[in-house]
């Protein structure tokens, strides 16, 4: 988990919480999209950020 720009020092604790089933990561995913849907989804996120937590783009 090196090189992440977001709270890299928190990764060991986060990994432990997920590994021990204390966090349901699937509940955090708002939408799963294809790579082709990414541009339109980015526009939608910019217009309505309150509707999104995490979006997973499948490559």
Bridge partners of 25, per DSSP, are none
Predicted confidence at residue 5, as pLDDT, reads 63
Predicted confidence at residue 1, as pLDDT, reads 45
Would you list the domain boundaries of the chain?
Answer: 28-59
**Selection from 48, 53, 50 nearest residue 30 by Cα:** 53
Helices and strands per DSSP (H, E), number in the chain: 2, 2
Whether the full predicted model's pTM is greater than 0.85, yes or no, is: no
- Asked if 52 and 30 touch (Cβ cutoff 8 Å), the reply is yes
**Phi and psi, residue 21, nearest 5°:** 70, 20
Q: Which residues of the chain have pLDDT under 70?
A: 1-8
């Amino acid at each position: 988990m090196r090189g992440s720009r977001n709270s890299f020092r928190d990764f060991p604790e986060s990994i432990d919480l997920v590994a021990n089933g204390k966090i349901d990561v699937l509940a955090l995913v708002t939408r799963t999209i294809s790579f082709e849907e990414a541009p339109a989804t980015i526009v939608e996120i910019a217009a309505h950020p309150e509707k999104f937590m995490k979006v997973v783009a499948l490559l």
